Amino acid sequence: MRLLALLFLSTISCFAQETLTLNQCYHLARQNYPTLEKLDWLSKTEAYTLANANRAYLPQLSIVGQATYQSEVTDLSQTIAAALPLPPNAALPHIDKQQYKLIGELNQLLYAGGEIQSQKAIVKAQTAVQIQAVETQLYTLKQRVSNLFFGVLLIDAQLSQNQINIQTIQSQLRKAQVALQNGTTLPSNVNELKAESLRIEMQTTEYQATQAIYLQMLSILIGKELTSPLQLVQPAPQPQPQPLSTQNLRPELKGFQLQETLLKAQEKQLNTQLLPKLSAFFQGAYGRPTLNILSNQADFYYITGLRLQWNPSPLYNLSAKKHILHLSSQSLTADRQAFLRNTQLELTQQSQQIKKLQKLISQDQEAVALRHSIAQAAEVQLDNGIITTHEYLQKLNACHLAHQTLILHQIQHLQAQENQNLIINN
C-alpha cells in the first residue's frame, strides 16, 4: 500500500508540473531577454524625433537687441538749406550717432521644399533598421534555446536507457550471487557484474550533472524555473523535410530591405536641399531711428512680408554624395546575395543531414532488434554456463550501445528538422 501511495503521489506530481513546448520556450526566452526593452525605447525615440521635426512648422520667435555708435550718419541739412530758403534760427532734422533698437521677429515657414518630410522619412527608416537589428538579435536566441532544449531531451533519453541497463545488470547480478552461494560460479563473475553496474551508475551521475546544467541555463533564458526534463515536450517529427524552395523569412533579409529604404530616403533628402524655402515674417521693433530716417525720436515700428531663401551650395558636393549612396547600395546588395548564398548552403547541408539520419534510424532499428535477440540468447547461454560473464557483458553492452545510438539519431533528427526551420525562419 505504501508503494502504491508513493507511485500515486509521484504521478500527481508529474501531472502538476507545467509542460513547455519548444515554441513556448522560444516565446518565453524572447519575452525574458533584456534586449526586448530596446524595441519600446526605439519606438518612443522615433515619436519624439518626429514631433521635433513637425515643430519646424510652428511659428519661430526671435528677439534681438542692439546698441551702436556710428562714426557718420545721414546729414541732409546742407542739401535742404541750399534748396529751400529757411528763416533764421530754423532747426533742421538730424540723426544721432548713438542708435539702439530692440527687434522681435515672428517667422512662419510656408514651404520647405519637402525637407521636413524627407527628414521624417529618414527618421522612420532609421528606426525601422534599428528595430529589425534587435529582431535579428532576438532571432539568434532561438538557436541557443534549441540547443539546450534538445540537449536536455537527449540526456534524458540516455538516462532512461541507462536505467534499463542497470536493471538488466542487477537482475544478472542477483542470479550470479545465488550461483556463488551454491558454488556454481566464481567470485570474479560477480565482481565483474558489480563493476559494470558501477560504471553505468558513474555514467548516470555525469549525465545527471550535465542535464542539471542544461536545465539551469534554459531556466535563465526563459525566465521560468525548470527542475525536471519531464517539463519539456518532445517535438513530433515532421512527416516530410522542408523543400529547398521554401520561402526564406529570416529577419536579416527584412533588415537588408529596410536599409535599402533608408538609402533611398537619404538620396531624396539630398534633392530637397536644392529647393528654395518660403516663409512669412513679422518684425516688431522699438528703437531710434525708426523706419523714418529723418526722425530722431525713438518709437515703435514694424515690417511684415514674405521671405524666399535659396542656398545653391549643396550643388558643390551633390554628385559625390549620391555616388557614395550608390556605392552603399551596391555593397548592401552584395551582402544580401552573400547571405542568401550561405543560407542556401546551410539549407542544403541540413537537408542532406536529415536524409542521412532518416536512413541511420532505419538501420539502427534493425540493429537494435538483432542486438536484442543476441543479448537474450547470451543471457540464456550465461545461465547454462555456455559463455562467461565477460562474454555476456560484451553482447549486452553491444545491445545497449545500439539502443543509445538509435536514441541519439532520433533526437538529432528532430533537432536537424528544427534547425532547418530556423535557417529559413519557418
Q: Which of 206, 208, 207, 194 is CA-nearest to residue 166?
A: 194
* Residue appearing with cell numbers 541750399: 82
b vs e for 243-258, b when ≥16 Cβ sit within 10 Å of the residue's Cβ? eeeeebebbbbbbbeb
The H or E element containing residue 107 is strand 98-111
Quote the pLDDT of residue 56. 86
* Residue appearing with cell numbers 536579416: 252
Do residues 418 and 150 touch, judged by C-beta distance below 8 A?
yes
For the stretch 274-287, pLDDT in tens is 889 999 999 999 99
- Rounded CA separation 106/109 (Å): 10
* Mean pLDDT, residues 340-363 taken together: 92
Do residues 417 and 241 touch, judged by C-beta distance below 8 A?
yes
- The answer, yes or no, to whether residue 255 has pLDDT greater than 80, is yes
- Rounded CA separation 404/397 (Å): 10
For the stretch 80-104, pLDDT in tens is 666 666 666 656 667 788 889 999 9
Q: Which of 273, 271, 305, 262 is CA-nearest to residue 112?
A: 273
Lowest mean pLDDT among 17-21, 53-57, 320-324, 327-331: 17-21
- The answer, yes or no, to whether residue 139 has pLDDT greater than 60, is yes
For the stretch 216-243, pLDDT in tens is 999 999 999 998 888 999 988 877 666 6
- The answer, yes or no, to whether residue 35 has pLDDT greater than 50, is yes
For the stretch 170-204, pLDDT in tens is 888 888 888 888 887 788 888 888 898 898 899 99
C-alpha 289, offset from chain centre: 66
Burial class (CB in 10 A: 0-12, 13-18, 19+), 158: buried
- The answer, yes or no, to whether residue 9 has pLDDT greater than 60, is no
- Determine the angle formed by the axes of helices 22-32 and 187-222, rounding to 10 degrees: 50
The H or E element containing residue 39 is helix 37-54
Quote the pLDDT of residue 1. 38
- Rounded CA separation 173/168 (Å): 9
Which residue type, as a one-letter code, is found at position 293?
I
Domain boundaries, the chain: 19-58+112-275+310-424
Report in angstroms the alpha-carbon separations of 294 from 2, 89, 214, 288, 291: 118, 19, 92, 11, 9
- Rounded CA separation 334/331 (Å): 5
Q: Which residues touch 56 (CB under 8 Å, ≥6 apart)?
A: 109, 112, 116
At 14, list the grid cell: 508529474
**Averaged pLDDT of the chain:** 86
Quote the pLDDT of residue 96. 83
pTM: 0.78
Quote the pLDDT of residue 94. 74
SS3 350: helix
- The answer, yes or no, to whether residue 2 has pLDDT greater than 50, is no
* Mean pLDDT, residues 248-257 taken together: 92
Ordered strands of the 299-309 beta sheet: 60-69, 98-111, 277-288, 299-309
DSSP 233: P
* Residue appearing with cell numbers 557614395: 324
Quote the pLDDT of residue 7. 40
- Rounded CA separation 331/337 (Å): 10
Quote the pLDDT of residue 93. 67
> What CATH number should be reported for the domain whose range is 19-58+112-275+310-424?
1.20.1600.10
DSSP 273: T
Q: Which of 255, 31, 235 is CA-nearest to residue 136?
A: 255
* Mean pLDDT, residues 346-361 taken together: 92
- The answer, yes or no, to whether residue 25 has pLDDT greater than 80, is yes
Quote the pLDDT of residue 200. 87
pLDDT band per the 50, 70, 90 thresholds, residue 17: low
Which of 109-118, 157-166, 325-334 has the highest mean predicted lDDT (pLDDT)?
A: 325-334
- Rounded CA separation 256/262 (Å): 10
* Mean pLDDT, residues 128-137 taken together: 93
Report in angstroms the alpha-carbon separations of 121 from 181, 202, 320, 323, 332: 90, 64, 22, 21, 20
Report in angstroms the alpha-carbon separations of 306 from 107, 109, 272, 281, 344: 9, 10, 20, 6, 61
- The answer, yes or no, to whether residue 14 has pLDDT greater than 60, is no
Percent of the chain clearing pLDDT 90 (strictly above): 48
Which residue type, as a one-letter code, is found at position 102?
L
For the stretch 374-387, pLDDT in tens is 989 988 888 888 88
230 torsion bin: left (phi>0), alpha (psi -120 to 50), beta (else): alpha
Q: Could you tell me what percentage of the chain is helix, strand and coil, using 3-state DSSP and rounding each to the nearest 5?
A: 70, 10, 20
- Rounded CA separation 395/404 (Å): 14
Strand runs (DSSP E) across 355-399, as ranges? Answer: none
Q: Which residues touch 170 (CB under 8 Å, ≥6 apart)?
A: 197
- Rounded CA separation 307/110 (Å): 10
Residue predicted with more confidence, 265 or 295: 265
Length of the chain: 426
